[in-house]
Every structure is written in C-alpha cells, then in structure tokens.
C-alpha cells in the first residue's frame, strides 16, 4: 500500500514539471521583453532630445550667421553630441529643411517650407534602416521575430518677435560686493545679445526694492532701457512678487504690447522675498495669460528654491550665479533662449 502511494506521489511530481518549465520560460520571456520595451522608451526620449537640440541650434545659427550652411553644420554638430542608443545621432542633411513660421489668430503655429521670411528650421531625426545612424537593435525581442526598432522624431524651431519684461532687484543687499555694478554689466550684455537678433523685441524695465517701479514701458528702443537703469541705485527691502506683478502688467497692458508676440518676464534677485505678495503666487497668473517667467538668482543669499519654483510655475528656466562672471553668462543664456521656440 505504501509503495502505491509513493508511486502516485512521484507521478504527480513528474506531471507538474512540464508546467513549471513552461511558466519559467514565460516569466523569463516577459522579463526579457520588458527590458526591450524599456529600451524603446529610453531611445525615443533620447531621439527627441537630440532632434530638439539640433533644431534649436540650427535656427540659432541661421539667425546669427544668416547662412543655411552654418545652420546645417550646427544641427549636425549638436545632434552628434547627443547619444541615441549609445551613439551620437547622425542626421541626413536632406532631412534638415528651412522655411517660415508664424502664429495664427488662434495662437497655433504653422511651418511653410521654403517660405519667407526665413525664420525656421525643421529637423527630422531618425534611427531607421535608411538613416545614417541605422536602426536600433533589439536583443530579447528577437525571440518574437522583432530584431530592430526604427524610431523617427521631427522638431521645428523658429525665431519670433518677443515682448520682454525685465524685473530687476535694486534692494539694499545689491550694494554689497559690487553686485549692483555686476548687474549693470549683465544688463548691457543682455541688451547687446538682443541687438544681434534678426527679430524685433519690445522691452520694459521694472525695478523693485520695498516697492516696485516701472521705469521704462515696453519699447523697441533698447537704449532707453539701458538709460533708465543707469539712474537707479540700491536700497530698501525685497518685494519680488510686486516686481513680478508690474512686469506682467507691462507686457499685457502697455501701449506697445503686441497681441501675437511671445511674452516673457525675467526676474532677477540676490535675496529673499520679505515684502508684499510672494512671487510664486503671482507666477500662477502667468501661464493662463500666455507669459513665460524666467528667473535668475545671484549670490549665496538668494532664495534659490523659491525662484526655481517661480520658474517652474511660469514654464521658464531658472539659473543661479555665484559671481559676476556667472551673472553675465546667466543673462546671456536667457537672451539666447528667448530667441528660439520649438513649435513642433
């Protein structure tokens, strides 16, 4: 009797082994496929980044050099500096096209290949069999008859006119360690950078300490902005939110505000908000009004966390400068950022 039971138990164990083997195979196949799926998502993200960067670099070079050749070279260089599936992306120069972009009455954008004025570049980034970089090989998916992945991304960048509100800190702390002079130099660099662009910017200037003061309404004459700031001196507390409110008002309501111009506010501070409404509260009004808010913090005493939040809410970028040279670079970087827009 015992022998019969033992044999029956062994038979059941033997019968289960094929099922266990199948389950193990399915488990490992699913895990392997998940790895390839993750690879596909990463490659798509990398390709988007490389293609966007190439389009931005191309249109920046187009405006700066007034040369299609320079634009193509910039696109190729930036694309190859970005890894896609472990290798720099190589572009097909026939997939870099030039044209004109504009904004429709509903706020959407269009791209017209070979249109005029020439202000836009479209770049198609590919990892396909017909592209210079070739397809992306898959490893585990070959078990299911899929050996390659062929992603394609398109990006179009354009240079459009902007209305810009500068909001600058003239509180008492700006008198320390030559910060006010550094800001004056950074403003000069910013204005010179805008002067080099092919589009026409309208610029306003608000300064703030304990209160805000709009010292220059929107104007296409950048020299007026430079002259207005030359009359300022540091003193008082730090009402960043009030300054941002004034900047938003200028690009939305000044007589020179253009309804279809892209709108940006740049807020610079070296300290902490300590008077009036907080700038993160004010920034919530920016996006619904179609305004991008960029922020610059200067010195270790600045509240970087708050201003990073303001830029995040306002859909802009935040840059921090520890010294005079980095402040110049921050204003120059934002000036270049203002010149470029991805529309696709």
User: In Å, how far from its chain's centre is CA 252?
Assistant: 23
DSSP state of 289: G
User: What confidence score (pLDDT) does residue 90 get?
Assistant: 97
Q: Which of 115, 132, 158 is the last residue of a domain?
A: 158
- Length in residues, the chain: 344
Q: Which of 116, 139, 158 is the last residue of a domain?
A: 158
Higher pLDDT, 148 or 303: 303
Rounded to an integer, what distance in angstroms lies between the CA atom of residue 53 and that of residue 206?
32
> Would you say residue 147 has pLDDT above 80?
no
Residues 6+ apart with CB under 8 A from 16: none
Residue 330: CB atoms within 10 A of its CB come to: 25
Q: Evaluate whether 150 touches 128 at the Cβ level (below 8 Å).
A: yes
> Would you say residue 29 has pLDDT above 70?
no
- The H or E element spanning position 155 is strand 152-158
In a domain, 153, yes or no: yes
Q: Evaluate whether 191 touches 291 at the Cβ level (below 8 Å).
A: no
Taking only the tens place, the pLDDT of each residue in 65-87 is 889 999 999 999 999 999 999 99
Q: What is the mean pLDDT of residues 199-208?
A: 92
Q: Which phi-psi region, left, alpha or beta, contains residue 64 (left: φ > 0; alpha: ψ -120 to 50)?
A: alpha
Same domain, residue pair 93 and 201: no
Rounded to an integer, what distance in angstroms lies between the CA atom of residue 201 and that of residue 163?
6
Rounded to an integer, what distance in angstroms lies between the CA atom of residue 78 and that of residue 73?
9
Same domain, residue pair 288 and 226: yes
Residues 6+ apart with CB under 8 A from 126: 92, 95, 133, 150, 151, 152, 153
Rounded to an integer, what distance in angstroms lies between the CA atom of residue 269 and that of residue 239?
10
Q: Which of 122, 137, 158 is the last residue of a domain?
A: 158
In a domain, 271, yes or no: yes
Whole-number CA gyration radius for the chain: 28
Q: By residue range, what is the domain housing residue 331?
A: 162-342
Residue 220: CB atoms within 10 A of its CB come to: 11
> Would you say residue 198 has pLDDT above 70?
no
Taking only the tens place, the pLDDT of each residue in 178-197 is 999 999 999 999 999 998 87
Q: What is the mean pLDDT of residues 33-44?
A: 79
In a domain, 1, yes or no: no
Rounded to an integer, what distance in angstroms lies between the CA atom of residue 312 and that of residue 200?
27
State how many domains the chain has. 2
């Amino acid at each position: 009797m015992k022998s019969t039971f033992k044999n029956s138990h062994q038979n059941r164990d033997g019968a289960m082994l094929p099922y266990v083997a199948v389950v193990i195979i399915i488990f490992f196949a699913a895990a392997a496929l998940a790895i390839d799926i993750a690879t596909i998502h990463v490659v798509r993200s990398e390709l988007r980044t490389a293609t966007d960067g190439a389009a931005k670099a191309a249109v920046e070079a187009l405006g700066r050099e007034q040369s299609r050749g320079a634009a193509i070279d910039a696109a190729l260089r930036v694309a190859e500096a970005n890894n896609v599936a472990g290798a720099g992306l190589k572009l097909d120069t026939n997939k870099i096209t030039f044209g004109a972009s504009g904004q429709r009455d509903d706020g959407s954008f269009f791209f017209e290949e070979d249109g005029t004025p020439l202000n836009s570049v479209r770049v198609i980034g590919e990892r396909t069999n017909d592209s210079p970089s070739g397809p992306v090989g898959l490893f585990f998916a070959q078990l299911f008859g899929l050996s390659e992945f062929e992603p394609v991304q398109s990006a179009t960048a354009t240079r459009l006119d902007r209305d810009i509100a500068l909001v600058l800190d003239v509180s008492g702390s700006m008198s320390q360690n030559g910060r006010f002079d550094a800001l004056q130099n950074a403003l000069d660099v910013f204005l010179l950078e805008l002067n080099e662009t092919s589009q026409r910017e309208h610029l306003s200037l608000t300064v703030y300490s304990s209160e805000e003061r709009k010292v220059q309404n929107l104007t296409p004459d950048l020299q007026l902005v430079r002259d207005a700031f030359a009359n300022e001196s540091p003193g008082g507390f730090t009402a960043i939110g009030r300054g941002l409110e004034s900047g938003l008002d200028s690009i939305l309501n000044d007589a020179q505000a253009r309804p279809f111009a892209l709108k940006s506010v740049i807020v610079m501070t070296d300290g902490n908000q300590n008077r009036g409404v907080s700038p993160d509260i004010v920034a919530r009004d920016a996006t619904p009004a179609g305004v991008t808010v960029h922020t610059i913090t200067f010195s270790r005493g600045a509240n970087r966390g708050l201003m990073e939040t303001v830029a995040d809410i306002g859909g802009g970028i935040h840059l921090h400068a520890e010294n005079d040279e980095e402040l110049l670079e921050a204003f120059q970087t934002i000036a270049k950022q203002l010149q470029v827009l991805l529309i696709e």
